[in-house]
Every structure is written in structure tokens, then in C-alpha cells.
């Protein structure tokens, strides 16, 4: 079915000016966005991008904000957000799960667990939207989002709707080729398992997540760095003695060293400085260059889009 027919709304999109971005990033970093375009339809996304071009600003797509670091106090861009019209979970006639890109990943995971679909269990406790999780090929342990996909519907760089089969998506550790597109919807595997098997897997995953800072109490953007080949970023940062190291309101978590937490009043500058400090210390100590897993949103000194 044509996505333009099942995602409909009275208005296509609405633009808000000077928006407080604190609630749009799970680290709760304060920043102001020049424009926030909330898009209710596919036409609305196209309009938002045209609006950005018309006013000469870059555009950036915001998902659940769980992998996002704002690097400056004022983001002079058009931030595009898919509205609740893109939040849905349905079974297709052939038994796949059809999920809108703006749907909360935890909701998808709960839905899957409720239907004894074990494939989503490894993603329990990972915040963000389904679209963001696919774009970043989010995962845990050996599992990644790509494992549960069948097909993804996107708006490509020419703003055309494309349906891309999972075999045509080159999936890598914590990245995927679709990152350059706007993900609209995914068709996912819905293979069911014995309830006891699903619960057993869930038990293990929940035990692992208890070794990470709690999103509600210690706001963070999840893991900051990708794991380098054959090692773990968290292990290296810990071994460099950086647990609890803080700059302003940003602190390396005492629970898991690959998390930076906002102790209450962290600024974009605090977070960026701490990430650079950690990266430099690990490189100096172990000659390993850590690569960020998070996405930076902001402007560089020349006013160019970063992100
Ligand atoms: N470790 C330390 N000190 C720490 C943290 C970890 O020594 O402070 C050691 C652990 O003891 C372990 C190793 O580092 O031997 C790996 O730690 P862990 O099992 O916590 O896994 P991870 O590789 O750090 C990955 C994902 C997490 C995901 C967990 C699920 C990456 C970068 N991280 O963490 O994903 O939740 O597995 O177990 O791939 C995220 O992507 O945002 C994220 C949090």
C-alpha cells in the first residue's frame, strides 16, 4: 500500500521557531533550535526540506534524540521531526510487522514480546525511535536492528519514496547506508517463539541493562563511542581511570565508562569538551582512536552544519 495513502493528516507540517531542544535529546542538554518542522505526512517532509532550502538553512532529522549531542547553544537549522502520524505497529497480511519510523523502539519491543516475537528482545532498554535505531543499526551484544528487518521504506536524497529490501542495505556495526535517507516505515520479521524462551532471553537482557546508567535518573545519550575492533570502549575508558571524570555538568558515568551523564546543568560545551578529553586520554594511553557512536548536531566555527 502506498505510504502516502495510509499516512494522512489535515495539515502536512507545522513550523515552530526558537524551540527549546532539551526535551528532544535524552541527555537533556539545553539548546535552542531556530526552526522545528513537525511533519505529519510525506508531503510535509518534502515541504520542510523545501522550506529549509528557501530560507538558506541546513536541515537535520531528529529521531528520539537518544543518540544526539547538541554541540552549540543555538542550532541555526531546520530540525525535522516526524509526528505521531508516523507512529504505528500493525501486522501485514503476510504476518510481518509494519512499523512507522517515529514509533518508540521500547513500544515496538514490548509489542513484540507480548506476541512472543523473540527477535526484538535484545533491543529491550534501548531508547529512541525505530527509524533512529535502523539508521544507527542500534543493537546490543551480537544483535543489531538489521537482523529483524525485511524491507525499509525511505525518502531518498531526491525526495522520492523507495522500498529497499534488507539484502540491499549494507549493514555495518552501528551504521547503515540508510543514514543518508529519511526512514519512513519498516517491514520487520515477526517469527514467534515459545513464551518461556522469550522470557528467558528477556531476563538475560534485563540483567545486562542493570549494569548501565538508568535513563530516567542519569540522562545520557547511551554509549558515546563505538567499540574498537577486538576491544570495548567502556573497558578502555575505565582502564584510563576516567570514571567520574567531569567537566562542568557532564560526567563520565561511574556505572559504565562509555556513558557520559548530565548531572543537571551540563552545557553543549561541557559535553563536547569531555568527549574530546576522553578520546585524547584513551589515545595517549592505549594508542586506540575511539570513534563516536553518537551524532553531533550543531554548527562548526564557520557556521557549517555538523551532524
Ligand atoms: N567494561 C569496563 N568498565 C566499564 C564498562 C565496561 O571494564 O565501565 C567492560 C565490561 O566489563 C565488559 C566490556 O567492557 O568486559 C564490555 O562491556 P558491556 O558488556 O557493558 O558492553 P559494551 O560493549 O560496553 C555494548 C553496546 C551497548 C549495549 C551493551 C549490551 C556498544 C558501543 N555498546 O556495550 O549499547 O547496551 O553492549 O550489553 O556497542 C549503545 O549503543 O548506546 C549502547 C549502550
Tell me, what's the pLDDT at 300? 55
Give the nearest ligand 1 atom to 141 CA.
37
The x, y and z cell numbers of residue 153, run together, are 521504506
For 92-109, give the DSSP string: -TTS-EEEETTSBHHHHH
Tell me, what's the pLDDT at 150? 95
| Helices assigned H by DSSP within 136-211 | 195-209
User: How far, in Å, from the CA of 125 to the mean position of ligand 1?
Assistant: 13
User: How far, in Å, from the CA of 234 to the mean position of ligand 1?
Assistant: 6
The contacts of residue 178 (CB under 8 Å, 6+ apart) are 134, 135, 152, 154, 164, 169
User: How far, in Å, from the CA of 232 to the mean position of ligand 1?
Assistant: 7
CA gap 9, 44 in Å, rounded: 10
Ligand 1, from 134, 258, 290, 292: best to mutate by most atoms within 8 Å of Cβ?
Answer: 258
Ligand 1, from 235, 244, 292: best to mutate by most atoms within 8 Å of Cβ?
Answer: 235
Q: pTM of the full predicted structure?
A: 0.91
Task: Encode the chain (307 residues) as per-residue pLDDT tens digits.
Answer: 688 888 888 899 999 999 999 999 999 999 999 999 999 999 999 999 999 999 999 999 999 999 999 999 999 999 999 999 999 999 998 989 999 999 999 999 999 999 999 999 999 999 999 999 999 888 887 888 989 999 999 999 899 999 999 888 867 777 787 877 999 999 999 999 999 999 999 999 999 888 888 766 799 999 999 999 999 999 999 999 999 999 999 999 999 999 999 999 999 999 999 999 999 999 999 999 999 999 999 865 455 555 5
Tell me, what's the pLDDT at 169? 81
Query: In Å, how far are 66, 147, 241, 243, 249 from 254, measured between CA atoms?
Result: 20, 32, 11, 5, 14
User: How far, in Å, from the CA of 82 to the mean position of ligand 1?
Assistant: 30
Tell me, what's the pLDDT at 140? 81
**Phi, psi (5° rounding) for residue 109?**
-65, -45
Tell me, what's the pLDDT at 299? 65
Amino acid at each position: 500500500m502506498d505510504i502516502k495513502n495510509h499516512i494522512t493528516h489535515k495539515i502536512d507540517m507545522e513550523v515552530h521557531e526558537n524551540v527549546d531542544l532539551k526535551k528532544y535529546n535524552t541527555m537533556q542538554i539545553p539548546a535552542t533550535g531556530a526552526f522545528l518542522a513537525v511533519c505529519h505526512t510525506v508531503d510535509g517532509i518534502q515541504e520542510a526540506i523545501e522550506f529549509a532550502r528557501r530560507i538558506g538553512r541546513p536541515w537535520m532529522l531528529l529521531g528520539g534524540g537518544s543518540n544526539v549531542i547538541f554541540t552549540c547553544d543555538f542550532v541555526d537549522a531546520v530540525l525535522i521531526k516526524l509526528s505521531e502520524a508516523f507512529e504505528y505497529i500493525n501486522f501485514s497480511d503476510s504476518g510481518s510487522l509494519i512499523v512507522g519510523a517515529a514509533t518508540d523502539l521500547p513500544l515496538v519491543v514490548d509489542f513484540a514480546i507480548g506476541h512472543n516475537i523473540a527477535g526484538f528482545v535484545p533491543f529491550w532498554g534501548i531508547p529512541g525511535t525505530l527509524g533512529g535505531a535502523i539508521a544507527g543499526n542500534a543493537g546490543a551484544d551480537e544483535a543489531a536492528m538489521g537482523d529483524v528487518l525485511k524491507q525499509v521504506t525511505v525518502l531518498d536524497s531526491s525526495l522520492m519514496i523507495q522500498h529497499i529490501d534488507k539484502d540491499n542495505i549494507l549493514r555495518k556495526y552501528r551504521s547503515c547506508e540508510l543514514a543518508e535517507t529519511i526512514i519512513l516505515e519498516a517491514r520487520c520479521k515477526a517469527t514467534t517463539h515459545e513464551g518461556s524462551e522469550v522470557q528467558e532471553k528477556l531476563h538475560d537482557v534485563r540483567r545486562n541493562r542493570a549494569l548501565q546508567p538508568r535513563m530516567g535518573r542519569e540522562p545520557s545519550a547511551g554509549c558515546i563511542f563505538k567499540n574498537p575492533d577486538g576491544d570495548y570502549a567502556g573497558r578502555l575508558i575505565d582502564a584510563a581511570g576516567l570514571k567520574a571524570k567531569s567537566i562542568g555538568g557532564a560526567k563520565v558515568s561511574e556505572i559504565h565508562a562509555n556513558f557520559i551523564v548530565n548531572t543537571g546543568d551540563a552545557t553543549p560545551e561541557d559535553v563536547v569538551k569531555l568527549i574530546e578529553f576522553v578520546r585524547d586520554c584513551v589515545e595517549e594511553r592505549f594508542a586506540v582512536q575511539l570513534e563516536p557512536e553518537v551524532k553531533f548536531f550543531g554548527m562548526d566555527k564557520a557556521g557549517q552544519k555538523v551532524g
